[in-house]
Structure 1
Amino acid sequence: MSKRVSIYTVAKEAGVSTATVSKIINNSGSISRETSDRVLEIIKKYNFVPQQRRQTGSAIGVVTFLLRQGPLMAPFTARLLNGACRQAFLAGRDLVLIDGERLAGLTPEELYCHYASNSLAGLLICNVAAENPFCTKLRKSGIPFILLANGSTDDSVNFVTTRNYEAVYELVDYMLCLGHRRIAYMGVLNRAVDSHRERLRAFYDIHNKHGIDPYPEYVLDLPDAEISTIKNALTRLFARLESPTALFIGGEELDKAYTLLPQLGIEVPARLSVAGLRLDDPLDSGVIEWSCITQPTERIGCVAAQKLLELAEGQCAYVREYLDNSLNYGNTVIRHEE
C-alpha cells in the first residue's frame, strides 16, 4: 500500500465525500449499494486501511461457524481458540471472535472492508472446508486467512492441520491385525470437512488393503456430537444380530462414547474393542489406557496464529502445515478370534 493513499484519495476517486467513505468503512448510515460497491472496490484496489486503525495495531480475527453449538461449547473448538489466544497475546495482539454466519452473505469487497476497518491482521477459520463458498470469497478478497484443523489440496489455501489420514490408517490397521473384521466407524460431519473426510478415507483404504469390505451399515455419519445422538446411534448399531466387535470413533468423542457403552450393557474391551481420537488434555488422570490418536489441538491454534501474523507481514508466501498426532496402543483394544 502506498503511504500517500488516504481517505481523501478514496473519496476523490469514488466521487463522494470523506464522510461517505467513513460511513461505508464503519458500516453505518444509509448508503446506496451502487455507491458502497464503488467505494469498496477502490478501498480494495489500494489495500487502504484508515490511519487511525493502523496506529492501534492489528488483531487476529477468528471466524467460527456455530452450527448447533456455541463456539466455546465444543471442546475441540475451545482448545483451538485457547492456543490461538495464547499466541496472539504473546505477540501483543488481540483475538477477535467473529460470527461466520453474519459474514457469509458479504461480497469479497465487503469482507475486505470489514477486515480493514476492524484492523485485523488476518483471519483464522474454524469449521469450514476449503471448497466452501465463504472461503472462495475470502480468496477473492485478498484477506490473509488460514484454515484451522482442515487441510486442502488447493495450493491457494493456507491451513494448519494434523496428519489425520496417516494416524487413522495406522490405528485401524492395528485393530485389523488383532483379528477384528467387523469394525464400526462413528464420526461427525464425515463428508463436510476435510479432516473428517480424510479419516473416513483412511478407514476404507486400510480395509481394502486387508481385502475386507466394511459393512456400510457400520459407518455412522452423525449430524452433531450431542450425547443423545451418540447414544441413539450406538443403541441401533448394537441391536443388530451381527454386531461389531470393534468401534472406531472418527471424531473427538471417544470419551463420550466410552461413558455411554456401559449404559448399553457393553463391556470394554471384553465385548467391544474401542479406539479413536481424543483431545489433548493436560488434566487427564490416566486411569484409562486408551488406544487412541491424540491431536495437539491447542498447538494447532498456536501455530496457526503465529503463521497468520507471518503471512500478514509478508514473512512467508503460503502456509501448509501438517502437525503430527500422538498414537497410543492401549488396553481398550484386544485380540479377537471368531
Structure 2
Amino acid sequence: MVTIYDIAKLANVSAMTVSRVINNTGKISDKTRAKVKKVMEELHYVPNSMARSLVLQETKMLSLLITDITNPFYTTLARGAEDAAMKRGYKLLFSNSDEDVAKESEYVDMVLSTRVDGVLFAPAGDDSLSHLEKLRKHGIPFVLIDREVPGMESDTVLGDSKEGARKLVEHLIGLGHRRIALLNGSLDVSTARHRYTGYKEALKLSDIPFDDELIAESAYSRSSPNRTIEAIERLLQLPERPTALFAANNFLAIEAIRAMRDRGIRVPDDMSVVCFDDLDLASVIDPFLTVAAQPAYQFGTIGVQLLLDRIQETDGAEWRKIILPSEMIVRKSVQPFAEL
C-alpha cells in the first residue's frame, strides 16, 4: 500500500507537506503542490478518508435516513438530496428504517460510529425522539424532512399535509360525495395526524357530520397489506358503505384499490379514490389516481441546504421550518356521485 511517506520520498518533500497537499491546508507553493500531486497520480495513491476526517474534523459525508426507499416520494427525495450534496462536495449515505423504530435505532448508532457531518432524518414516528436526542447529545447536526417529532426543535422541511388533505376531500365533496372514508397511517406519525385534521376540517366546512366508522388505519408502507385488506373489508361491510375513499398515502391507495378490485368493487364506478403523494413513472404513462402531489425533489435539495447551513453555523441561528405546498392533480379515479 502506498503511504504519504512513499510520496514524500519520491517528491523530495516532507510527509507533512504531502499531508497538507492532500488536505488542502497550510501554505504551499503551486510548484510544490503540483509536484506532489504528480507523484500521487503516478503511484495511484488514494487518500485515506478516515485519516483525512480526523485532520479536518469532517468527513464530507451526510446521512439520509428515510422510512421506505421503495416509496416513489422518498426515491425522488433521495435523488434531490444526493444531487444537492454532490454539488457541494459531499457524499450521501442512504439508510432505510421500514417505518420501524428499532431498525431506525440501529442506523442512528451506525451514523454515530461513522461520524458523518450531518443527517437528513425522516422519523419513523413520535418514538424517534430518543434517537434525535442521541444525535444532538453527540453533536451531530440534523434536519427533519417530511415529518416532525413533538418535543424536538430543529430545522424542518415539511409538506402542507393538512391543506393538501382538505383540498382532496373538498374535491370529493364537490362531486357530491358525503360518505367519504379515510384510510390513514398510524397517528404516531405527524403526517397522518395532519391529514386526519385536514379531512375533518373539510367535512366541517361543508357541514358533513364526522363519522368515526369511516376512519380506518393501516401502515404507510407495503409491509402490512393484510391490515389494509382488513380495513377495506370493514368499510365495505358498513350498512351504508362509503362512496369515496381518501388514502393518506400512495401505498395505501394501491393496496386499497387492489383489495376492492378483488371484491368486485370498481374504481371509480363503484368507489372514487384520492390519495396523498403521486406514484412512479407508470402514473405518467397511464394517469389514473387523483393525488395531492408533493415536490419530493425539492424536499431533498432544501433539506441538504438547511443541513449544510447548520453544519457551518457557529452562532446558534434560529431553527427554520420550510413548508412546501402540494399540487392537486385530478385524474380518472374519481367521478361524481349519482345516488341510485
Do these two structures clear the TM 0.5 threshold for a shared fold by scoring above it?
Answer: yes
Aligned-pair CA distance for 1:218: 1.4
Cα separation, partners in 2 of 1:180 and 1:299, compared to 1, 3 Å: same
1:302 to partner: Cα distance: 2.4
Question: Secondary structure at 1:261's aligned position in 2?
Answer: helix
Q: Secondary structure at the match of 1:311?
A: helix
Deviation at 1:155, TM superposition (A): 8.1
Partners of 2:106 and 2:272 lie apart in 1 by 45
Alignment of structure 1 residues 161-172 onto 2, 5 Å: 161-172=158-169
Deviations 1:204-250 (A, max 9, x none): 12212222223212111113543333223212321223110111111
* Equivalent position to 1:214, from 179, 195, 210: 210
CA deviations 1:157-194 (Å, max 9, x no partner) are: 221111111111112112112221110000122x1111
Confirm or deny: 8 A CA contact 1:146 1:319 kept in the other structure.
no
2: CA distance, partners of 1:152 / 1:263 = 37
Alpha-carbon distance in 1 for matches of 2:93, 2:234: 42
Whichever residue aligns with residue 88 of structure 2, its letter is: A
C-alpha distance in 2, partners of 1:232/1:95? 39
- CA distance in 2 between partners of 1:101 and 1:240 (Å): 36
Tell me the TM-score normalised to structure 1 length.
0.71
Q: Determine the structure 1 residue equivalent to 2:227.
A: 229
Q: Distance in 1 between matches of 2:166 and 2:321?
A: 21
Distance 2:239 2:197 in 1: 27
Corresponding residue to 2:191 among 176, 183, 195:
195
Measure how far apart 1:50 and its partner are. 9.1
Partner of 2:268 in structure 1? Answer: 269
Instruction: Name the SS for the 2:277 alignment partner.
Output: strand
Equivalent-residue separation in structure 2 for 1:76 and 1:119 (angstroms) = 27
Q: Distance in 1 between matches of 2:138 and 2:57?
A: 23
Q: Is the 8 A contact 1:183 1:214 kept in 2?
A: no
Residue pair 1:58, 1:119 contacting (<8 A) in 2 also: no
Kept in 2, the 8 Å contact 1:85–1:95? The answer is: yes
The CA deviation string for residues 62-94 of structure 1, in whole angstroms up to 9 with x for no partner, is 2346xxxxx434444433333322222222211
Fraction of identical pairs, as percent: 23
Q: How does 1:131-150 map to 2 (within 5 A)?
A: 132-150=129-147
Match of 1:327 in 2: 328
Separation of aligned partners in 2, 1:56 and 1:333: 52
User: 2:78 maps to which residue?
Assistant: 81
- In structure 1, the residue matched to 2:249 is 251
Kindly provide the amino acid, as one letter, of the partner of residue 234 in structure 2: R
Which of 108, 115, 121 is the aligned partner of 1:125?
121
Asked if the contact 1:77–1:126 (Cα under 8 Å) also holds between the matched residues in 2, the reply is: no
Distance 2:248 2:86 in 1: 32
Q: 1:121 to 1:317 in 2, by over 3 A?
A: farther
Output the TM-score relative to the length of structure 2. 0.71
The equivalent position to 2:171 in structure 1, one of 166, 171, 174, is 174
The one of 199, 205, 210 equivalent to 2:201 is 205
User: Which segments of 5 or more consecutive residues in structure 2 lack a partner in the other structure?
Assistant: 1-50
CA deviations 1:292-315 (Å, max 9, x no partner) are 111222321222122211111129
Separation in 1 of the partners of 2:58 and 2:134?
Answer: 27
Q: Which amino acid aligns with 1:311?
A: R
* CA-CA distance at 1:256 after TM superposition: 3.6
Structure exhibiting the larger radius of gyration computed from Cα positions: 2
Distance in 1 (CA, whole Å) between partners of 2:259 and 2:76 is: 23
Is the 8 Å Cα contact of residues 63 and 126 (structure 1) preserved in structure 2? yes
The match for 2:40 is: none
Name which of 53, 56, 64 aligns with 1:54.
56
Shift of the 222–114 alpha-carbon distance from structure 1 to 2, 3 Å rule, reads closer
Q: 1:103 to 1:256 in 2, by over 3 A?
A: closer
Match of 2:90 in 1: 93
Q: Number of aligned pairs?
A: 279
> RMSD of aligned C-alpha atoms?
3.2
- 1:241 is matched with 239
The aligned amino acid for 1:296 is P
Superposition deviation, residue 195 in structure 1: 1.3
- Name the CA distance, whole Å, in 2 between partners of 1:307 and 1:257: 36
What whole-Å deviation, never above 9, does each CA across 1:242-263 have from its counterpart, x for those lacking one? 1101111112223343344322
C-alpha distance 269-102 of structure 1, shift in aligned 2 (>3 A): closer
Asked if the contact 1:130–1:147 (Cα under 8 Å) also holds between the matched residues in 2, the reply is: no
1:88 and 1:158 map into 2 onto residues whose CA distance is 17
Where does residue 160 of structure 1 map in the other structure?
A: 157
